[in-house]
Amino acid sequence: MTIKVALAGAGAFGIKHLDAIRNIADVEVISLVGREQAKTQEVADQYGIAHVATELADSLRIAEVDAVILCTPTQMHAAQALACLDAGKHVQVEIPLCDRLADGEAVARRQRETGLVAMCGHTRRFNPSHQWVHRRITAGELAIQQMDVQTYFFRRSNMNALGQPRSWTDHLLWHHAAHTVDLFAWQAGSPVVQANAIQGPIHPQLKIAMDMSIQLKAANGAICTLSLSFNNDGPLGSFFRYIGDTGTYLARYDDLFDGRDEKIDVSRVDVSMNGIELQDREFFAAIRERREPNASVAQVLPCYQVLHRLELQLQG
């Protein structure tokens, strides 16, 4: 059976998913949703997608659509995820699930009520570099003592990954910190029980903090220090140092190095080196197998509970 998909958000991240789905058998994107009809049609023509819309509701009315992938602005994620579940569609929403805890909790409740697959795009769980570390942990060969993470961008104006103006404002706490808060708890195998945050000056136009520092402690004693910046003028990206009881590892996206900076081959960890593709494969496999996916809404909700506590602290 071919799973038929509607994808909402024809921007930089939506295109990453379209490229990933090309490598996955028996999955077809049949509807594409974007803000601007002409630009969305251009992307649809490139990927052979027959239906184009500027409103998600138009795609949800298509009976043949089995599942939806949401790559829309953060502020729309929770409401659109609810709309998909209400329409009887499985849904994968890109990170973050929400920017208000109550909205994320509403999605989790609706998923339980419908029994549909609802997954969040916490890609770090799927990157081969982090999977390699996770397998050592689950085999009992490594226990995390500390994680040191740097998430750095140069984004002093409101631009997306393609260098185009954004229609919405990104956020260090609810978006970029979500990756690490969830990854830390997943790798530690223990919930976050202490969290602290401080932030730098608020940008006068964007109205967000451009620099932030977060400390976390898991119930098992593992700790994490996370530094985030939109002011950093290179090198850009997210860099993870795992300090364990039996080794130190440095993950730089899909590359992994040991404590002596010697590269570790992670090419055989999974069927692809593309974290987005592996994330999408898990979504479709969960639909076919009628099971809860890795990074289900229920699994990642504790991350957003921590972010909520941090936001209240910062508002102090």
User: Which of 286, 270, 254, 267 lies closest to 67, judged by CA?
Assistant: 286
pTM for the full predicted model: 0.95
**Which residues are bridge partners to 143 per DSSP?**
none
Cα 162–166–171 angle (5° rounding)?
100
In the predicted model, is pLDDT for residue 155 greater than 80?
A: no
Cα 236–242–248 angle (5° rounding)?
115
In the predicted model, is pLDDT for residue 160 greater than 80?
A: no
Q: Measured between alpha carbons, how far is 269 from 284 in angstroms, rounded to an integer?
A: 19
In the predicted model, is pLDDT for residue 58 greater than 70?
A: yes
In the predicted model, is pLDDT for residue 158 greater than 90?
A: no
Average pLDDT, the chain: 95
Please tell me which residue, 167 or 230, carries the higher pLDDT value.
230
Q: What is the pLDDT of residues 175-226, one digit of tens each?
A: 999 999 999 999 999 999 999 999 999 998 888 899 999 999 999 999 999 9
Longest pairwise C-alpha distance within the chain? 55
Q: Measured between alpha carbons, how far is 152 from 48 in angstroms, rounded to an integer?
A: 35
Work out the average pLDDT over 1-13. 95
Radius of gyration over alpha carbons of the chain, in Å?
Answer: 19
- Where does 3-121+276-296 sit in CATH, by number? 3.40.50.720
CATH classification number, 127-269, choose in 3.30.360.10, 3.30.70.260, 3.40.50.720, 3.20.20.70:
3.30.360.10
Enumerate the domain spans of the chain. 3-121+276-296, 127-269
Work out the average pLDDT over 238-259. 95
Q: What is the pLDDT of residues 36-54, one digit of tens each?
A: 999 999 999 999 999 999 9
